[in-house]
């Protein structure tokens, strides 16, 4: 029987209820699998246990795909069982797999072997931030991480702001959580007063904070407490 590669989202936050962020049928898919390609084995096992995986977790096989396993030989070894007919699930550390994480390499290799890929529904902080930002969702770009050091960071912010204005394309950024305040301050320093900034923090958790206003307005208030909390930044124009 032909195998399928399922892309299995997980909650973004440890504090969010499964029923708030995952459709019930995801559990059926998960229970049908015993082979998982995961960003972190400990987190993946904890996730399976939390959703009530119906098999013995110790009978399932886990392989890690992360920044330490990026060579194509490793990926080929992970995909070999799928080619041989064993369905697999990709589970990332938090949120949806293969967006802003290393899952993409497995998906690409599966495509080249004509393996069916099935993405499941789940929480994406990027998409939910765009929805809730009030900024254009007709055109938006996710840019990942910006350079950390000045002057490169400032140049990158200004380049994204100018694209946000000239193409009316909302520009989404993330940062390592312990550098969130620094990125927010850099955005406030480098962007024009009338540019809008949305800050979306701890999305889908009880502590969720989402606010969009102009740079001029942000400059007049104290920044929210986003340090060390997963945060999405979006700049754009109305």
**Sites of contact with a second copy (CB under 8 A):** 7, 17, 19-25, 96-101, 103-104, 107-112, 116-119, 121-124, 126-144, 169, 203-204, 208, 210-213, 238
Minimum distance of a second copy from residue 46's CB (angstroms): 19
Structure letter (DSSP) for residue 217? H
Minimum distance of a second copy from residue 59's CB (angstroms): 26
Q: Which is nearer to a second copy, 187 or 212 (CB)?
A: 212
Q: Which is nearer to a second copy, 144 or 151 (CB)?
A: 144
**Residue 197 parent element (H or E):** strand 196-201
Q: Which is nearer to a second copy, 128 or 191 (CB)?
A: 128
d(CA 178, CA 162): 27
Minimum distance of a second copy from residue 156's CB (angstroms): 11
Q: Which phi and psi angles does 20 have, rounded to 5°? A: -90, -20
Q: Is 7 helix (H, G, I), strand (E, B) or coil?
A: strand
Give the position of tokens 């399928």: 4
Give the position of tokens 């290393």: 102
Q: Which is nearer to a second copy, 119 or 154 (CB)?
A: 119
Q: Which is nearer to a second copy, 63 or 141 (CB)?
A: 141
Minimum distance of a second copy from residue 154's CB (angstroms): 18
Minimum distance of a second copy from residue 7's CB (angstroms): 5
Query: To the nearest 10°, the Cα dihedral for 159, 66, 225, 227?
Result: -80
Q: Which is nearer to a second copy, 29 or 63 (CB)?
A: 29
Minimum distance of a second copy from residue 104's CB (angstroms): 6
Positive or negative torsion for Cα 26, 28, 29, 30: positive
Minimum distance of a second copy from residue 214's CB (angstroms): 10
Decide the pairing of beta strands 196-201 and 209-214. antiparallel
Decide the pairing of beta strands 88-91 and 35-38. parallel
Contacts of 133 by beta carbon, 8 Å cutoff, 6+ apart: 170, 198, 200, 210, 212, 234, 236
Q: Residue 29: how many CA atoms within 13 Å on its side-chain side?
A: 23
* Number of neighbours of residue 146 by Cβ within 10 angstroms: 21
Q: Which is nearer to a second copy, 20 or 57 (CB)?
A: 20
């Amino acid at each position: 029987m032909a195998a399928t590669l399922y892309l299995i989202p997980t909650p973004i936050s440890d504090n969010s209820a499964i029923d708030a962020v995952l459709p019930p049928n995801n559990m059926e898919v998960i229970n049908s699998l015993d082979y998982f390609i995961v960003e972190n084995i400990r987190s993946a096992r904890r996730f399976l246990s939390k959703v009530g995986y119906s098999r013995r977790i110790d009978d399932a096989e886990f392989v890690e795909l992360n920044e330490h396993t990026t060579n194509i030989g490793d990926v080929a070894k992970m995909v070999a069982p799928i080619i041989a007919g064993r369905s697999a699930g990709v589970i990332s550390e938090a949120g949806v797999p293969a967006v802003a994480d290393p899952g993409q390499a497995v998906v690409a290799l599966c495509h080249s072997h004509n393996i069916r890929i099935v993405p499941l529904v789940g929480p994406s902080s990027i998409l939910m931030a765009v929805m809730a930002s009030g900024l254009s969702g007709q055109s938006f770009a996710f840019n990942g991480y910006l350079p950390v050091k000045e002057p490169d960071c400032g140049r990158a912010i200004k380049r994204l702001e100018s694209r946000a204005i000239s193409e009316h394309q909302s520009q989404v950024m993330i940062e390592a959580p312990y550098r969130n305040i620094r990125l927010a301050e850099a955005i406030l320093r480098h962007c024009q007063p009338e540019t809008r900034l949305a800050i979306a923090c701890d999305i889908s958790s009880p502590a969720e904070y989402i606010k969009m206003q102009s740079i001029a307005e942000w400059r007049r208030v104290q920044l929210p407490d986003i340090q060390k909390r997963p945060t999405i930044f979006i700049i754009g124009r109305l």
